[in-house]
Structure 1
């Protein structure tokens, strides 16, 4: 899947069945012309845009603007790489997963423990991906492994790539959102979801 990544952070409570709650931030990846971003839980870039690109409320979003400017937030649905054809791990270097290696979105790569986060519990979860240019393709949602430290730059080895928490091909879209189900594992503390959206009608 071409790599467009976003770290998601939101102060939304998810009513998911399970044990103790943990907090999620989100990074998303999309293909060349697949425009969108995870809306529930909300991605970092979408959350920062919702806070107001010129003067975001949260310290992490303000730091992202200081690092990369406001245009990345106005382009909240455009973190992507074209012509990747599933080679996103080859094309996107460690530490640049949330920007998809795109300099314009470098503020999203900041290693911080204070990105806005969604409180969730383990168990079934309904993911809502906001699509502004829908395309056929497959979504995969990964979660960081136990021991993940949000204060360190995100690396591919931080993600449990062998066990996506959700996978969906051509999910139905309604009201501007593609909706699909997944299962969150037993985790504690702060973790990150990383979404990859690979178009099937384009590399």
Structure 2
């Protein structure tokens, strides 16, 4: 990556609030604290990860998934998380590219936590309105078995935040962790309210006091730095700040119909991105105004350019 582009990416990571004015660009991100599996493996280095779990993830799914660390998403989720993501594929959101993150093993690098209040930090590369919900696994969770919806305490999210304000490249919001011991997992769902798109992440945590089952303790997790993110941006296929690789085909595609979430059990993550939420946030109207304003500006610019060309052509003919 050129020094100029690296500097631009690092600067953008520290001022993500500017992306709020971009309109319907694709949002992206992943849990930064406690660090998500994909962020941890990216921080280790996609080409030569250090931990056994991240090495296995690369063998299973390749390195591209790590460069695309902020793109574990479903474009038309509209709250239908359990309907669209089967058991055993929660960490990848049923996306083949990220299948390495679904590996059932007890040695994923973990963030040390304890019960009580906790400040969550969600690394965001394109902020949008929406709701975050974070769920913890139930007592008795076995990390050596595939993660299922039934393993999560869906009725008691440990954190819920609607439209937090991004600062320094993160959404920061508070929650409370319950009493647990040993290795557990936190599952984060970010459901946008200005789009049916949703993002997902798995964060391995260790409450301490558990048994290792005869295996060595998992290494401590660490999040990627701004410089590491900037270094890998050229290899990402994900739209950063709605621009990134400038390939429109990798942007989130809005639904052609207004999403309506089906009836769900009380303990299931609820739909955001419905017509009511769109009305509450005003995102739909604001997006339309941006689009109309942009179109008008383009039309005016084209007209001015056309008249300028005509005047030059006419001047040329008169001067001959």
Regarding TM over 0.5, the answer is yes
1:110 matches 2:94:
no
Q: Is 1:88 aligned to residue 77 of structure 2?
A: no
What residue is the counterpart of 2:159 in the other structure? 166
Alpha-carbon distance in structure 1 between the residues aligned to 2:159 and 2:152: 13
Distance 1:84 1:131 in 2: 19
What's the TM-score once normalised by structure 1's chain length? 0.84
Give the structure 2 partner of residue 100 of structure 1: 93
Cα distance in 2 for partners of 1:36, 1:86 equals 18
Given candidates 159, 164, 173, the residue that maps to 1:180 is 173
Q: What's the CA shift string for 1:2-42, capped at 9, x where partnerless?
A: xxxxxxxxxxxxxxxxxxxxxxxxxxxxxx93300000110
User: Equivalent of 2:40, from 19, 34, 47?
Assistant: 47
Structure 1 or 2: more helix by fraction: 2
Matches within 5 A, 1:1-203: 33-203=26-196
- 1:172 to partner: Cα distance: 1.3
Q: Under a length normalisation based on structure 2, what TM-score does the superposition of the two structures give?
A: 0.53
**For residues 161 and 94 of structure 2, what CA distance do their matches in structure 1 show?**
25
Determine helix, strand or coil for the equivalent of 1:187.
Answer: coil
Once the 2 structures are TM-superposed, how far is the Cα of residue 84 of structure 1 from its aligned partner?
A: 1.1
- Render the CA deviation track for 1:63-107: whole Å, top value 9, x for unaligned: 000000000000000000011110010000000000000000000
Identify the structure with the greater strand proportion: 1
Gaps (5+ residues) in structure 2? 1-24, 197-320
Tell me the residue number matched to 1:8.
none
User: Which consecutive aligned stretches of 4+ in structure 1 deviate over 2 angstroms post-superposition?
Assistant: none
Return the structure number with greater relative CO, CA threshold 8 A, min gap 6.
1
User: Is the partner of 1:104 in helix, strand or coil?
Assistant: helix
Higher radius of gyration, 1 or 2: 2
Paired positions, count = 172
Alignment partners' CA distance in 2, 1:181 and 1:90: 28
Aligned partners of 2:77 and 2:124: how far apart in 1?
20
Task: For structure 1, list consecutive stretches of 5 or more residues without a partner in the other structure.
Answer: 1-31
